[in-house]
Amino acid sequence: MGGGLSTEPHLGLKLDGVARWSQATAVVRGITEIFRESKSLRENREKARLKYLFLEQGWTAASFQEELEQRMGFPLEPAIPEEPPADIYRDHVGVHRQKQDGLFYVGVAVLRGRITAEQLHTVAELAARYGSGELRTTNMQNLLILHVPARRVDRLVRELESAGLRVGASSFWRGTIACTGSEFCKLALTETKGYARWVVEELERRLPGFSQQVKLHITGCPNSCGQHWIADIGLQGVRVKTGGQMVDGYYFCVGGAVGRHQAVARKVGYRTPATGVPAAVERLLRRYLEHRHEGENFRAFCARHTDAELRAWLAGGEVEGIPAPEPSGRLPHGIEG
């Protein structure tokens, strides 16, 4: 319950309950009523989100469940214990066996979700020719082709790759997403889509063969449509002054994740003009490669270091931490590039 990102992130909480299908309407109705009748959510349109019950009104998963069950008039059955996956690459990219015998699905990494009309025609045609004709989209802005018989997988992969649709993509290509940005979004402070491509190309050039999993999310304003709060490296677009001019810049949030290691990314107090981002990321990732423990992933590495250390590696030396941008996206008064 109550998950949401935007300017004030809150990770969803799990209730200790399972609803049977016949109970679903009562559950949804109960939740909707709590939302409607919570006075604090009715007073400010910008705070009309369930997450604010947890962020500001002191609600917990247990108190929410108690209120819900009271409204429904029956308790939920206890939840089934589950172990969330530790793997961040749940993006389905690559070739994977389906549950159905002899069938595979093939995931294409679509960099920042941008695909040409011609590529989309191609992928539709290939889905019909090699699979069942079915395509799926994913929340990592990728495409899946389903129900491909084993003997056809290799040819499908070759055809996808020759159309510029990567099945075997670099960590940066695969792990980068971007929101709409200034090209089409009136709220944006920075351009993000073309920029994300440039950042990925730069990182592929600077760190060839980098094979560790890393999620790099770029978002053009504090609203976090690019989900920078749940990225290993989250970049929030800001305007910064450099050489007397206002230019695109990015503020770094590090260590976000969903799954077993779920966390909201930490505001580490470092920002740079947009052109400085690839060098900063390179410095941080080189430090990780050189100093990580045996088998340690980037998330765990960040978790055992302080904001000041992460900031120093991003900056290439110790620097004073700057306050995070305000919810408006503006840098605090007096902060310049």
User: Which residues are near ligand SF4 by CB under 6 A?
Assistant: 179-181, 185, 187-188, 219-221, 223-226
Q: Smallest gap, in angstroms, from Cβ of residue 205 to ligand SF4? A: 26
Q: Which is nearer to ligand SF4, 248 or 282 (CB)?
A: 248
Beta bridge partners of 254: 233, 266
Q: Is 261 helix (H, G, I), strand (E, B) or coil?
A: coil
Query: What φ, ψ does residue 98 adopt, rounded to 5°?
Result: -90, 170
Q: Provide the minimum distance between the beta carbon of 236 and ligand SF4 in the complex, in angstroms, as a whole number.
A: 9
Which is nearer to ligand SF4, 172 or 195 (by Cβ)?
195
On the 0-12 / 13-18 / 19+ scale of CB atoms within 10 A, 23 is middle
Beta carbon nearer to ligand SF4, 171 or 190: 190
Q: Which is closer to ligand SF4, CB of 166 or CB of 228?
A: 228
- Cβ at position 72, least distance to ligand SF4 in Å: 35
What is the signed CA dihedral for 319, 320, 322, 323, rounded to 10 degrees? 140
Query: Least CB distance from residue 19 to ligand SF4, whole Å?
Result: 32
Toward ligand SF4, which CB reaches closer, 8 or 282? 8
Question: Which DSSP string corresponds to 19-63?
Answer: --GGGHHHHHHHHHHHHHH-HHHHS-GGG-STHHHHHHS---HHH
Nearer to ligand SF4, 122 or 223 (CB): 223
Residue 151: helix, strand or coil by DSSP?
helix
Element (H, E) at 159: helix 153-162
With b for 16 or more beta-carbon neighbours within 10 A and e for fewer, the 93-131 pattern comes to bbbeeeeeeebbbbbbbbbbbebeeebeebbeebbeebb
SS3 169: coil
